[in-house]
């Protein structure tokens, strides 16, 4: 088959080597299929341990943090983080940067918290990241580091005395971050970590067991999973195995700092095309543009049919914008090669040239 350029927003492209290794393990992993081994077997316990160690190594996780793999995605994480971070005030601040923040806010309320929406970019359909707010004095401040739908990304994180909780589903492992700034980082796996089916939590151990939420259910208590080393119940074996393979691949390819450079180069290439090509324009505020999800529109919708035909013919998939904003979205996660971006910019350039 011809090569596909997968710009999908997630579940998304992973390295070809990872697919090949995973495919083999479905047939034979130490004599059995990876799908039929016990999660208590020494072989899988080693996989889980290696995945956790690689997360720590790749993100320079300091001592005093626990790395946990769960299920339920960030959508269950909205609830889990709110329950686990419930403090003496039962009052939390949330920055509203779009769809995912809104869902987090809803579950904060469902967890029994008084939720203060301390800043929002709703006034501009979430095309920027709010700044300059004071979030001191809350049980925690909740952030969404990157917005897949609106194409914005926090380039820095606020200074505050409130503990930081951050949903990094769509940009974790894409850039260097200082873990020590956060009490909880959580992320659905299906962007830069692995396939759908698991979610990563990086948790300051000192918060475990400190929640003021009454009767916190066992599965929703991060202390449960820390104490049982992510083996409280049957974990999503295959998703964690493939995540481990992907983290190994990341390590072999220079780690997060190298990915950050590559991602910057890909973003520069595509944003430069958008800004210099008279047929297109970007939708996010320039200083807040995401390096993961590039959102843009045609200035004249009359060219939509021709453009869609051209990128389809070039083997590009997943370029359609989210249904809530329209236009186009090029998601450029770690595994997307810059050559795929060059194919896209070529198609964009050709459209302008052919219609000049």
Interface pick for a copy of itself out of 55, 149, 216, 222 (rule CB under 8 A): 216
91 binds a copy of itself (CB under 8 A): no
Q: Does 22 bind a copy of itself (CB under 8 A)?
A: yes
**Total residues at the site for a copy of itself (CB under 8 A)?**
63
Among the candidate windows 109-117, 293-301, 306-314, 338-346, which touches a copy of itself by CB under 8 A? 109-117
- Least gap, CB of 108 to a copy of itself (angstroms): 10
Secondary structure (DSSP) of 153-181: E-SS----SSPEEEE-TTTTTSS---GGG
Q: Which of 228, 146, 240 is nearest to 193 (CA)?
A: 240
Indicate which residues carry an active-site annotation. Answer: 100, 167, 191
33 binds a copy of itself (CB under 8 A): yes
Neighbouring CB atoms inside 10 A of 16's CB total 11
**Shortest reach from residue 3's CB to a copy of itself, in Å:** 10
Nearest alpha carbon to residue 194 among 235, 243, 132, 158: 243
Among 8, 209, 255, 349, interactor with a copy of itself by CB under 8 A: 8
Closer to a copy of itself by CB, 12 or 141: give it: 12
Cα–Cα distance between 16 and 184 in angstroms, integer?
31
**Within 177-206, which residues bind a copy of itself (CB under 8 A)?**
188, 190, 195-198
Tell me: does residue 209 bind a copy of itself (CB under 8 A).
Answer: no
Q: Which of 237, 274, 325, 343 binds a copy of itself (CB under 8 A)?
A: 237
Under the binding rule (CB under 8 A), the answer on residue 90 touching a copy of itself is no
* Minimal distance, residue 161 CB to a copy of itself, in Å: 28
Q: Are 340 and 311 in contact (CB under 8 A)?
A: no
Query: In whole angstroms, what is the distance from residue 94 CA to residue 232 CA?
Result: 30
Q: Is position 103 an interface residue for a copy of itself (rule: CB under 8 A)?
A: yes
The stretch near a copy of itself (CB under 8 A) out of 215-223, 252-260, 262-270, 303-311 is 215-223
Distance of CA 278 to the CA centre of its chain: 31
| 121 contacts a copy of itself (rule: CB under 8 A) | no
Among 107, 167, 171, 288, binds a copy of itself (CB under 8 A): 107
H helical segments located in the chain: 16-27, 42-59, 73-84, 99-110, 222-227, 237-252, 255-276, 304-313, 338-354
CA pair distance 236, 35, nearest whole angstrom: 10
Closest CA to 104 of 140, 134, 59: 140
The residue range among 158-166, 218-226, 282-290, 344-352 that interacts with a copy of itself, by the rule CB under 8 A, is 218-226
172 sits near a copy of itself (criterion: CB under 8 A):
no
- CB closer to a copy of itself, 73 vs 163: 73
Among 244, 219, 325, 220, residue whose Cα is nearest residue 55? 244
The contact mask relative to a copy of itself for 239-278 (x = CB under 8 A, - = no) is: x--x------------------------------------
- Are the C-beta atoms of 316 and 344 separated by less than 8 Å? yes
Task: Give the torsion sign (CA, 75, 76, 82, 84).
Answer: negative
**In whole angstroms, how large is the CA radius of gyration of the chain?**
21
The binding site for a copy of itself (CB under 8 A) comprises 1, 4, 6, 8-14, 19-20, 22-24, 26-28, 31-33, 35-39, 71-76, 79, 103, 106-107, 109-112, 188, 190, 195-198, 215-220, 232-239, 242, 317-318
């Amino acid at each position: 088959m011809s090569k596909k350029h997968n710009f999908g927003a997630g579940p998304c492209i992973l390295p070809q080597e990872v697919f090949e290794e995973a495919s083999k393990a479905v047939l034979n992993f130490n004599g059995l299929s990876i799908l039929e081994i016990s999660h208590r077997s020494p072989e899988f316990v080693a996989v889980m341990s290696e995945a956790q160690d690689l997360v720590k190594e790749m993100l320079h996780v300091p001592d005093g943090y626990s790395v946990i793999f769960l299920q339920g995605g960030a959508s269950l994480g909205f609830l889990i983080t709110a329950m686990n971070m419930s403090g003496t005030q039962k009052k939390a601040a949330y920055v509203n940067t779009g769809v995912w923040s809104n869902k987090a806010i809803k579950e904060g309320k469902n967890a029994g918290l008084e939720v203060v929406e301390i800043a929002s970019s709703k006034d501009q359909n979430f095309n920027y990241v709010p700044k300059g707010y004071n979030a001191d004095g809350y049980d925690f401040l909740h952030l969404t580091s990157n917005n897949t739908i609106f194409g914005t990304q926090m380039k820095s994180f606020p200074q505050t005395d409130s503990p930081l909780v951050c949903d990094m589903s769509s940009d974790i492992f894409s850039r260097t971050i200082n873990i020590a700034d956060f009490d909880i980082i959580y992320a659905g796996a299906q962007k830069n970590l692995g396939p759908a089916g698991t979610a990563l939590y990086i948790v300051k151990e000192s918060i475990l067991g400190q929640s003021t939420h009454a009767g916190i259910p066992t599965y929703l208590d991060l202390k449960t999973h820390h104490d049982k080393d992510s083996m409280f119940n049957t974990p999503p074996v295959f998703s964690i195995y493939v995540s481990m393979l992907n983290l190994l691949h990341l390590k072999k390819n220079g780690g997060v700092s190298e990915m950050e450079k590559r991602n910057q180069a890909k973003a520069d290439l595509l944003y430069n095309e958008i800004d210099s090509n008279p047929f297109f324009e970007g939708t996010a505020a320039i200083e807040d543009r995401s390096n993961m999800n590039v959102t843009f529109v045609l200035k004249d919708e009359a060219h939509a049919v021709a453009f869609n035909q051209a990128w389809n013919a070039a083997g590009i998939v997943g370029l359609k914008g989210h249904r809530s904003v329209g236009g186009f979205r090029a998601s450029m996660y770690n595994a997307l090669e810059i050559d795929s971006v060059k194919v896209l910019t070529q198609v964009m350039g050709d459209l302008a040239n052919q219609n000049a």
